[in-house]
Amino acid sequence: MHFFPQLLSGPMLPKDQAITPRASEDHNRGLHEVDATVISLDLPSAHTLRVGIALATSADDPGWTLPNVAFRIHLDDRTGAVSRIYTARSFSAVQARVEFDVVRHGADSPMMRWAAFARVGDALRLTGPRANIQIPEARGRRVALFLDDAAIPALHSILHQWPAGTQGQGWIATDDTHALAELPRIAGLQLHRVPLQAPGAQLLLQQARQLPDAASHVVWGAGERDEMRAIRQHFHTLVGLGKEDVAIAGYWKSGASNTEIDAQRQAAYGKFIAAGATLAEWDDLAIAI
């Protein structure tokens, strides 16, 4: 099975009665309400809590086997009864096990409080799985990757299903050298660490603008929304790559909490569906957040 056409995936919205029934039905198609249990908690680095969960339901859904699969975790009352989206770093169908990483950034947030309280045996409720952006089909071209810390688990899962013979380069904005060392090594794919600097420096955009022979590439990127939007515009407008050759996602936004992003995304999605559009037409980066 070939896992690398560009897949259109919609927003992982929290449950809310404010969106229309049709919008809710369109969005939830193919998703499951999943019961899971925490079975392992590890600290592979000072910045990362690695969580292993056993799926009590939906483990036979082939969606879990795709690279870069997203799911929503519904947190409990200790953390404010909110939800957050995470990417499966790995999945084992035999063990019905999903592994994901929580980056411990030090600031107070619902997920940081959950991570502080988490114990083996805790019950979790999830919504998912949903395939997030995939590597565009290369057809002999090189792949250019642009991502930051937030997308390292997604890249980890993608590299485990990397198409044989595909070559390219990737730039990863991070100071977590341990996370980079854990990534699978792929012949013909060079990964470069971009040390973090002052917020707003848009280091990945600088690398994108310097890519030699850019028109001979396909592009995958994930990270801060404004920078990812600028990278996508660069490859579409200045380089001239088609939509099918550029797969870019905004995982977070500088200066905005995930709760704020969820609320604005949900409001935009409700208006989008009310205007007669469908989930397949959704463009998350087009939303002004």
- Same domain? 177 vs 153: yes
Q: How confident is the model at residue 78 (pLDDT cuts 50, 70, 90)?
A: low
Give yes or no for a contact between 57 and 46, defined as CB atoms under 8 angstroms apart: no
Residue 52 has pLDDT above 70, yes or no: yes
Q: Which pair of tokens denotes residue 247? A: 């797969």
pTM of the model: 0.84
- In DSSP notation, the chain reads ----SPPP----PPP-TTS-HHHHHHHHTT-EEEEEEEEEEEEEETTEEEEEEEESS-TT-GGGGSSSEEEEEE--GGGTS-EEEEE-SEEETTTTEEEEEEE--SS--HHHHHHHH--TT-EEEEEEEEE---PPP-TT-EEEEEEEGGGHHHHHHHHTTPPTT--EEEEEE-S-HHHHHTSPP-TTEEEEEE---STT--HHHHHHHT-TTGGGEEEEEEEEHHHHHHHHHIIIIII---GGGEEEEEEE-TT--HHHHHHHHHHHHHHHHHTT--GGG--GGGS--
Whether 117 and 170 share a structural domain = no
pLDDT at 198: 63
Evaluate whether residue 179 is within a structural domain: yes
Claim to verify: residue 49 and residue 84 sit in the same structural domain: yes
Residue 144: burial class (beta carbons within 10 Å; 0-12, 13-18, 19+): buried
Is 124 in the same domain as 225?
no
Percent of the chain with pLDDT over 70: 85
Task: Give the torsion sign (CA, 158, 257, 120, 45).
Answer: positive
- Mean of the pLDDT values across residues 119-147? 96
Q: Provide the pLDDT for residue 80.
A: 62
98 and 77 inside one domain: yes
Q: Is residue 20 domain-resident? A: no
Q: Which of 97, 132, 167 is the last residue of a domain?
A: 132
Last residue of a domain, one of 132, 154, 172: 132
Q: What is the pLDDT of residues 261-276, one digit of tens each?
A: 777 777 877 787 788 8
285, part of any domain = no
Domain co-membership, 91 together with 113: yes
Q: 12 versus 187: which is more confidently predicted?
A: 187
- Per-residue pLDDT at 246: 98
pLDDT score recorded for residue 232: 98
Any domain includes 171:
yes
State the average pLDDT for the chain: 86
pLDDT value at residue 135: 96
pLDDT of 14 reads 56
In this structure, is residue 91 part of a structural domain?
yes
Tell me which of 262 and 161 has the higher pLDDT.
161
Q: Per-residue pLDDT tens for 30-39?
A: 699 999 999 9
For position 255, what pLDDT does the model report? 75
Could you tell me if 127 and 172 lie in one domain?
A: no
101 DSSP β-pair partners = 50
Show the domain range for 69: 29-132
Decide if pLDDT at 285 tops 80.
yes
CATH, residue 239: 3.40.50.80
**Same structural domain for residues 127 and 43?**
yes
Statement: residue 28 has pLDDT above 60:
no
**Are 84 and 45 in the same domain?**
yes
104 and 183 share a domain? no
Q: What's the domain count of the chain?
A: 2
259 found inside a domain: no
Determine, yes or no, domain membership for 151.
Answer: yes
Query: CATH code at 122?
Result: 2.40.30.10
For residue 274, the model assigns a pLDDT of 80
Within a domain: residue 248?
Answer: yes
